[in-house]
Amino acid sequence: MNSHYTYYIILAASLAGPLALSFDKKVAFYKRWKYLVIPMFIPAALYVAWDSFFTKEGVWWFNEKYITGHHLFGLPIEEILFFFVVPYCCVFVYECIRCYFPNLKKKVWGDRVLQLIAVLSIIAGAVFYDKYYTSWTFFFLGIFIGMVYVWKSWFKGFDAVSFVVSYIIILVPFLIVNGFLTAIPVVLYNDAENLGIRMYTIPFEDTFYGMLLIMMNVALYERVLKREQFKMVNSRNKL
């Protein structure tokens, strides 16, 4: 096998299961693909800009042995695809949780968990302000969670409990994928810009970097979904 396709193979393996199961009759996630397109592009654009800047600054870099060498915005094409493949898989898991456990939503403890994470994230970002990866990850996560609650009416489709439970489940495959990327290694990190704490070979910050990415996708997906449902209800009422 040509090692230059390693990153592509990891992405394809990650996508295969959720994509196939998207046609499950109960979840029928394929019917909601149209609501996911725009929500996926907005976080992806932000993450590409973030990733590109960090790559330029040497916060992390990519092992040329395991990528094809095709770049866009200063990043390997595979890395850009990561910001679409992983969110797709994670939103699929979120939809499964919503579908199979409809009574799970609207529990107060979910809001409390996210609000606590937001406060601790802002504090961590301030304490470790001199470390790019640590400070940016925690600041951005804390700020976005705050936005969800400050503009609760705009994000009214977002359910904290469903997200928290989904993310706990998502952490298993997310850490496996990141484990491959960091152990091979496809991605290498400058430990001067992070806490230096590893879960196997995965930087501690990756867990929260991923949480922010998935939360943005889920919150925006729910926003689009609720807006479309509102339009459909209005249309029926006019008939």
Q: What is the DSSP string of 3-37?
A: GGGHHHHHHHHHHHHHHHHTT-TTT-GGGGHHHHH
Rounded to 5 degrees, φ, ψ at 157 are -75, -15
Per-residue pLDDT of the chain (239 residues; tens, 9 = 90+): 689 999 999 999 999 999 999 998 888 999 999 999 999 999 999 999 999 999 999 999 999 999 999 999 999 999 999 999 999 999 999 999 998 888 877 778 999 999 999 999 999 999 999 999 999 999 999 999 999 999 998 998 899 999 999 999 999 999 999 999 999 999 999 999 999 999 999 999 999 999 999 999 999 999 998 887 666 655 665 65
Q: Residue 130 has which token pair? A: 């001199």
| Three-class SS state of 71 | strand
In terms of phi and psi (left: phi > 0; alpha: psi -120 to 50; beta: otherwise), the region of 106 is: left
pLDDT tens column, 159-188: 999 999 999 999 999 999 999 999 999 999
Instruction: Return the residue matching tokens 């400058």.
Output: 190
Q: What is the pTM of this model?
A: 0.93
CA dihedral 128, 133, 139, 144 (to 10 degrees): -160
